[in-house]
Structure 1
């Protein structure tokens, strides 16, 4: 038992000594810190996933909100005077949990509506009699230039999950969530539409398929018997994006050849997931 304890103690000390050796150079900037961490990874002291998180954590201190926010045209905002039949469809269709609410104009953001606050009212049959302005919660406003590490700290301190991004004139230019920030650190956070990384194409219902946007063209052609040009684009997402002519948001669709492509997951940087279904004649 004493021998085991000695071996464990020696091993622990050796590990600490190795870390100390890597840090003894007293890095002067982030590049040197990353170099040390990368060396630690190559030496087996830091796993690849941990290294990625370290890199992401350092990166957010250099990034601003404007780089990751969801642009205003892609935001779903609700009028405070809207009736249930007006605001429920976009809420249900988007499957989001929080929505900016505006007053006299779309520039007048007066709060945030949480979809879950509607559930109890709907269950009790009180939704029609309740005004949205009585349900909204205070909205946090942040400038486009705010650093992501500062924003993350504020999210944690205030226990809020969404902030309205405003430009230099105080007008809404987009929104940002705590998930958007965390994804810069840990990578994309899966949602209900995502599936195992071992699959690029997965059958959903009937003739519908869920297809990752990064699916190589040749793999897509083989599965769907299509003849998309493999020289012009590398992935099916590239072809779909070119047909849209803009970065689409969720639920937008486009017909290419004999198939209908619906965007199931996308952010302000790229298409992530597609639903592919044959056109019914």
Structure 2
């Protein structure tokens, strides 16, 4: 080595540093690859992705090969730098060794570690896919050394009583999927993000959260006279509605408006025409998760169900449209079509006490608490813990609520304003 020209030694040192940069960038690039994008590209036939995926299926062998190569070239570079330093300063060898150590450390850190690893972290596919051409045959060449090193490592683990950890799984939990969707950024439009999050939220929401309350259910009382029933059917704005006798708990069936045509246009209409045309009522337990109920509607080929509590009393009504709105959002956001939320000129909103909190949050992009009462009236009563007087105000989180009207021990209307959140620190 001492007989080689000094210029050639510098060239060899540069090549060793390039090899060190290759191994450093390869390690970071391979480990920074997005496993799900990698799997997608491999399934699409991308050769580089396929090679990288096969390498990552053997992580212990891959890391061993990279580290063996990296350490070999770094040690060789240190030895070569020492020879160059001694030849440049033959009379001051101690100083030469110290300077070579410091300078080589700086060069390795900057050009063979920090720079290539940062580049690989920012563009892992551009580094890892080409590197897989070299790493695969390198693993074959170094297989005996890799096998021996891994055997020694396993022995050390056995001595330290470190067992095999559970293999990592590619499957993601629902919460991890939500984070993945939220972090998708511009690659996924906001509307699609909301739809995907809506699907993932179905298991955390029950039928009781979105049902139409019992007092708002529109149906036809079959104990009324024929003319009154016909007038109610003509004026209804719903496609389907329940038929009952005197009380909603005595439901007869669910009638589709098209099945009422014979009754409406008959010269001698009778209630029997409606009861024959009505479908049997379908009952839904109030605590049924939405994703379960969506599958139940699909299996039963139904679009409406009556929500019952543990005693069998009807608490409200849920439709397939209600479930779909939890996924895609409201079919309309025009306040003019919302009969419960009334915007005011001063930026506040006058909201009916019977308004569903989830619907308020969806319509106004608010975050009123939804883990307790389902209506604005229930939320106010829970916080006041008494029947309040009109014109009093309460604060719930960042929302100021002024009670406007009380009737029959319930809040009929309230004015709500969202206040700017208080900054901490």
Report the TM range for the smaller structure's normalisation. Answer: 0.5 to 0.7
Of residues 174, 181, 188, the one that matches 1:37 is 181
Scaled by the length of structure 1, the TM-score of the pair is 0.60
> What do you get for the CA RMSD once the two structures are aligned?
3.5
What corresponds to 2:278 in structure 1?
136
| Residues 1:153 and 2:295 aligned together | yes
Q: How many equivalent pairs are there?
A: 201
- Cα distance, 1:118–1:27 mapped onto 2, change above 3 Å: same
Structure 1, unpaired ranges of 5+:
1-12, 202-209, 219-229, 250-267, 271-281
Shift of 1:214: 6.6
SS at match of 1:108: strand
Higher strand share: 1
| Residues 1:83 and 2:83 aligned together | no
SS at match of 1:76: coil
What corresponds to 1:224 in structure 2?
none
What corresponds to 1:109 in structure 2?
251
Which structure is higher in RCO with an 8 Å CA cutoff and minimum separation 6?
A: 1
Whole-Å Cα distance in 2 between the matches of residues 141 and 213 of structure 1? 27
SS at match of 1:119: helix
Whole-Å Cα distance in 2 between the matches of residues 106 and 79 of structure 1? 8
SS at match of 2:350: helix
- 1:139-167 CA distance string (max 9 Å, x none): 11011011111111111121111001111
Whole-Å Cα distance in 1 between the matches of residues 42 and 325 of structure 2? 30
Structure 2, unpaired ranges of 5+:
1-36, 44-48, 50-123, 125-167, 357-373, 377-425
Whole-Å Cα distance in 2 between the matches of residues 62 and 18 of structure 1? 34
Shift of 1:115: 1.7
What corresponds to 1:127 in structure 2?
269
Higher helix share: 2
Shift of 1:216: 5.2
CA contact (8 A) 1:144 1:165 kept: yes
- 1:16-58 CA distance string (max 9 Å, x none): 449999xx98364322111112222x1x332211111100001
- Cα distance, 1:15–1:269 mapped onto 2, change above 3 Å: farther
Whole-Å Cα distance in 2 between the matches of residues 48 and 15 of structure 1? 25
- Cα distance, 1:86–1:139 mapped onto 2, change above 3 Å: same
What corresponds to 1:57 in structure 2?
199
Whole-Å Cα distance in 2 between the matches of residues 130 and 56 of structure 1? 42
Of residues 137, 160, 170, the one that matches 1:26 is 170
- 1:44-102 CA distance string (max 9 Å, x none): 33221111110000111111110001111111232334333222333343411111122
- 1:227-275 CA distance string (max 9 Å, x none): xxx2xxx34xx2253xxxx3279xxxxxxxxxxxxxxxxxx868xxxxx
What corresponds to 1:217 in structure 2?
344
Of residues 186, 198, 209, the one that matches 1:67 is 209
- Cα distance, 1:80–1:214 mapped onto 2, change above 3 Å: closer
Whole-Å Cα distance in 1 between the matches of residues 350 and 234 of structure 2? 29
Shift of 1:215: 7.2
Of residues 307, 317, 322, the one that matches 1:175 is 317
- 1:108-152 CA distance string (max 9 Å, x none): 222112221112442343534744322211111011011111111
SS at match of 2:249: coil
CA contact (8 A) 2:222 2:245 kept: yes
